[in-house]
Structures are given as C-alpha cells and as structure tokens.
Structure 1
Amino acid sequence: MENLKYYFLSLIFIITCFNCSNETVEDKETNDLDPTNYYEALNISYGDDVNQKFDLYLPANRNSDTKTIILVHGGGWTSGDKSDMNPIKDLLRQDFPNLAIANINYRLADDNNKAYPMQVQDITAFFNYLKSNKIKYSISENIGFIGISAGGHLSLLWSYAFDNGNNTDMVCSIVGPTNFTDPAYLNNTSVELQEALDLFGVDPTISFLEEASPYHQVTDSAPPTILFYGGKDPLIPTTQGTDLRDKLENLGVVNQLTLYPDAGHGWVGLELLDTWAKLKVFINTHL
C-alpha cells in the first residue's frame, strides 16, 4: 500500500524542474485585500477538521470576473498534501498571472472514514466557502480543476455530479480513476490496488461504485475535460481514460485525451513538457 500512496509523486517531483517560488507559511489571512494588489494566504480553514484547509493566491488587479483554478492533490485517497501541488501552482502563477489559485487539502480516508462521499463533501464545503467570500476576495464563482491521481478522480466526480450551479468551466484529470466498475478493477489480482479500492468499501454494491465513478455520473452538461494517462500505469488501466473519452464524445462534451504509451503513473522529459503545453492551451481556451 505504501508504494500505491506515492506512485503519483513521480509526476509531481519531476514538475519541480520548472520555476518554483519560495513561500512563507501563514496560519491566517491578513486584512489587506486591496484587489489592485497581489494577495496570498496559507492554511485558510473552510471547515472544522485539521485537513479542511487551503492556500489562496489572488492576482493583482482582480475583479468580479476573475476565475479560480482549484488544485486537488493525490495520494490514494489516504495520504498526500496540498504542498505536493505547489510546483503546479508555481507554473500557473508564472503562465496565468490573471487567475486566482486555490490549493486544497481534504480529509483523508481510513478504515473508519471512507473516501466517498466524505472527500467530495469537502470539495463542496470548500466551494461554498469560496462562493460566500467572492466579494471579499474580488473573484467570480467560475472555477476550473486540476487533479492528479485520486485528486483527478475527485475533480471529475465533483464537476460532473456535485457542481449544482454549473460553475466549473474546465476540469483536468492526470492519471485519475474514472470507473470503479471497470472489469480491470472488479477482476484485478493486485493486492495493492485492491487495498485502494477497498477504501470505497469491502464488497460494495455495483450501484455504490457507479455513484462514486465519474464515468457513470457524467452528463451532456459536463464541463470541457482534458485527460492524461500512461499506457503502462500499474494502477490506472488505459480503459479508465479511453472509456470516459468515448462517453464524453457520445454526449457531445468537449474533451481531449492524451495517452503516453510507455508511461506509468507519471512521466518525465518531453512527455511532461507535452502535458503542460496541452494543458496551457486548454486552460486558455476554456477558463
């Protein structure tokens, strides 16, 4: 299980070769929210649990039209931290200086606290907090998501099934699971993989697995979706990407899938550069 928890970090660690900024950790917000100035605050609470916190980065000269991109970390639903997404946050600040960025934590699953619905409830709580403070922060209600691994799953699921106001303009999943009823999952023989799937319950019903699967929740009102997968990923079968792509196509939802044939649960070099180049275009087009 430990290997499973940290597979997703291979992608994050490689991204650190890009420009990264130094940060000073703050435990609370300041009162200086002049929208003409850049603003950041770390570890803002959106709930009572220690993990219900987020970091916020607001651009200078923002206004009620400023959109927010939300980063959702991976870690097999049981581990990981928003700090794992800081390299992507730095890339976004560098290439999208007019976007607000929120980097969120959420409650982690264990034997007594199942991943679903707890973690999508956290995203709802966070979004409601952001929405109720939009005037304070001088931002709009429109958002986009970038999620990696488990964070990709949560980003897709919330955008497809829990965004009641249709506020999500685009969603990106990098190696995120999409369908827990995939035969590759139901009939798997991997101990580590099964431990992760058991976070959604031991011998759960098919209807429950469908409820927790973006593939089964997506409709024709889903936001534009961009997907990235590795052809040799030991945790995420390629069908998790190709089947969702096919369903999005059938529903008429704008989508883009990139499959790197020789990559696993993360990639480096030219493939990584390709990911960021495609994601930048997608964000520019849809957010």
Structure 2
Amino acid sequence: MKKLLPHFLLLICLTLITFSCSEDAEPEVPGIVELQDNIDALELYNVPYGTDNRQVYDIYLPENRNENTKVIILIHGGGWVSGDKVSMLPYVVTAKEELPNYAFVNINYRLASEGVSPFPMQLDDITAVINHLKINKDEYLISEDYGFIGISAGAHLAMLWSYAYNFDNNVNMVASIVGPTNFKDPNYEDFVDPTFVYFNITPSDSILEQYSPYYNVSASSPPTILFYGGNDPLIPNTQGIDMDAKLAELNVAHEFTFYEEEGHGWVGDNLLDTWEKIIAFINTHH
C-alpha cells in the first residue's frame, strides 16, 4: 500500500498535537459537587502493551469523550514481516477530521521472520491490544466497542481476528483494503506455499483454513467492507470476489468495491472513493 502515502500526504497537512488535561480554578461552594464540563483531547505515543519493543500503540482520544466513545483500531501491512504504524498516520489524520467523536488506536505488532511464524503471534498481539484497552478504558474514557481498518496483511489480521478471536463480540465492523482472505485458493498457491515454508509452517489444509478469514467467517460475524484491485500482483482477484460471495451467502452486512484497473493500492479518485465509503460504513455500523 505504499502508493497510498504520497497522495494522502499531499492532501493532508500532518500536525500532531498532544493536549494535556487542564482545569480552571473555581471557588469551592459547600454542598455542590463540581463537574468538569470539558475533557481535552489527548494523544499518547508508543504505549506498551507487551514486553517486546514492537508491542506498542499510539492512541488518539477525542475531546469531550466518555465511557461510550467508540474505538477504531488501525493495522498496517507489510506481508507479516515488515511495516510500521507510521504508514497509517495519514489515515489517522483524515479519520480524526471525518470522525471527531471516535478514538483511534494505531498499532505495531511483532514481525515474522524466517522460522518465526506470524500465526498466531500477531493475532495474540491484537488480543493483547484489546485487553490493554479494556484494562485502561476508565482512564482513557472509552467504550469496549471496536472497529478495524487494515491494509494488506493488516487487513487479513483484522478480518481473521474479528471472525475467529472476537469472543466477547466487541467488534462492530472491519474494513479490508487488499487483504488476503483464503490461503487455500488455487490462485494463491504459487506464493502461499513458499511463504508458509519460510515461516516454518507446514501448509496443510487444516492450517490454511485455520488462518483464512474465508473459513472463519460466520453468520454472526461483524459487518465487513472490502476493497480490491483487478490488477493486483499479490492478491488474486478471487480473494475479494469469493469473500464477497461468502459474506452474501451468510447474510453478513457488507460492501465490496472492485477497482478493475487498480493494483495493490491506488491513488486519485479511487482512493478518495475508498475513504468516503469507509467513513460511511463506520457511521452506519459503528
């Protein structure tokens, strides 16, 4: 999704401001409990949720939030072996403008390497993020209502966690931008097997199904919005098309946008279209 960044960075003047809570001094009035009328916005960076230096997140808390403030979690791509939350900053900036009442959490997660599998390590990291948010929800003043936006491998993780690990039903929606959905797809065989061998995983049918959103989605899965490109050199067209059909078969609320001439990322009008549809989907389902 590297092609996304230049377009967004031209559109957005990136200014990150950390607000601190303040309180005006008022004379005490006996018998009256003073309530704080305004709660300032707050941004916290590299909050640790585990012991590894990759297990950190940035959180952007809106002003005047309360225990009902909903949360959107962003997951970067990078083929499970690379990438960083910094690539999602343009999304954060735009989302804060379009969805000023939401809290945003931009996460890093442990990266896979030769002999070190991303599964279930990276899914466990998402669980750890969710648990950390729940533990600190009173301090942050947020709810336990979550949504996901993921790109590429991050979209795969977002979907898979929402379908297979969302045991408390806290996820209201998930957005996948060019995320892999089905590792058993015959069109995916040419590069799935080498990838899994690199991770020291024997790509059996059961393993491929276990880590494929396509085989974990159910009728009770959260609403899902999908975006795929017809000329994507990494993600076969069937990944999005078949996932769309599966969601329709299960009557899961969803939307599917297929840009026939786009690849593994896009700019211009289609990028703006993607973002407008995600904002509308969040407003409807989250």
Larger radius of gyration: 2
1:23 partner amino acid: L
Aligned counterparts, 1:76-225, within 5 A: 76-186=79-189, 188=190, 195-225=194-224
1:152 partner amino acid: A
Deviation of residue 11 (structure 1)? 2.2
- 8 Å CA contact retained: 1:30, 1:41: no
* Gap runs ≥5 in structure 2: 24-35
What CA distance in whole angstroms lies between the structure 2 residues aligned with 1:147 and 1:180? 18
- Cα root mean square deviation, aligned: 2.0
Hey, what does 1:237 align to over in structure 2? Answer: 236
Deviation of residue 280 (structure 1)? 1.2
What CA distance in whole angstroms lies between the structure 2 residues aligned with 1:61 and 1:211? 41
C-alpha deviations, 1:93-141, integer Å up to 9, x for none? 1111100000000000001310111000000001000011111111000
1:83 partner amino acid: V
What CA distance in whole angstroms lies between the structure 2 residues aligned with 1:222 and 1:160? 6
Distance 1:30 1:273, change over 3 A: closer
The number of residue pairs the alignment matches comes to 273
- 8 Å CA contact retained: 2:113, 2:199: no
Deviation of residue 194 (structure 1)? 5.4
Give aligned-pair identity as a percent: 51
What CA distance in whole angstroms lies between the structure 2 residues aligned with 1:117 and 1:285? 31
What CA distance in whole angstroms lies between the structure 1 residues aligned with 2:217 and 2:241? 14
What CA distance in whole angstroms lies between the structure 2 residues aligned with 1:156 and 1:38? 29
TM-score scaled by length of structure 2:
0.90
* Gap runs ≥5 in structure 1: 1-7
Distance 1:31 1:50, change over 3 A: farther
- SS for the counterpart of 1:170 is strand
Q: Tell whether 2:88 aligns with 1:74.
A: no
Distance 1:225 1:86, change over 3 A: same
Deviation of residue 273 (structure 1)? 1.1
What CA distance in whole angstroms lies between the structure 2 residues aligned with 1:200 and 1:18? 38
- 8 Å CA contact retained: 2:21, 2:39: no
Deviation of residue 204 (structure 1)? 1.6
- SS for the counterpart of 1:17 is helix
